């Protein structure tokens, strides 16, 4: 039984999994729209939304936390450009659109993750 075991493993060890998720978050913030598998999209959506909520506070402590979790360019873009767009919004900053396409090599369902 998988009681209290949340999150997907993606057939990777812990460090590789953390690096994958950090890279996906950095790409999502810098490009603002990425196409990835549905499983990865569902995994990064809550993490990205928590980072946006953190950036909405607009204080030095939140900026430092963002810098510790993202690279410098992504953290600054999130803090100074993306978060001010959502000051009035309570939540739901991202949208997952299932494309209906599958990846050729392993038939994984693909999805687009973008900011609303």
Q: Tens of pLDDT along 97-106? A: 999 999 999 9
Q: Name the pLDDT band for 2 (thresholds 50, 70, 90).
A: confident
Rounded-to-integer distance, Cα 97 and Cα 47, Å:
17
Q: Say if strands 94-102 and 109-115 run parallel, antiparallel, or are unpaired.
A: antiparallel
The pTM of this model reads: 0.92
Model pLDDT for residues 5-62, shown as the tens digit of each residue: 889 999 999 999 999 999 999 999 999 999 999 999 999 999 999 999 999 999 999 9
Beta strand spans in the chain (E): 33-37, 94-102, 109-115
Q: Which domains does the chain have, with CATH numbers?
A: 34-115 (3.90.1030.10)
CA–centroid distance for 44 within its chain: 4
């Amino acid at each position: 039984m998988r009681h209290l075991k949340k999150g997907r493993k993606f057939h990777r060890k812990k460090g590789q999994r953390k690096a994958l998720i950090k890279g996906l978050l950095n790409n999502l913030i810098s490009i603002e729209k990425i196409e990835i598998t549905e499983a990865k999209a569902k995994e990064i959506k809550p993490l990205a939304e928590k980072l946006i909520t953190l950036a909405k506070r607009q204080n030095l402590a939140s900026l430092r936390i963002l810098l510790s979790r993202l690279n410098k360019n992504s953290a600054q873009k999130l803090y100074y450009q993306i978060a001010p767009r959502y000051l009035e919004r309570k939540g739901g900053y991202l949208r997952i659109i299932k494309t209906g396409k599958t990846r050729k090599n392993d038939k994984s369902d693909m999805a687009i993750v973008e900011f609303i």
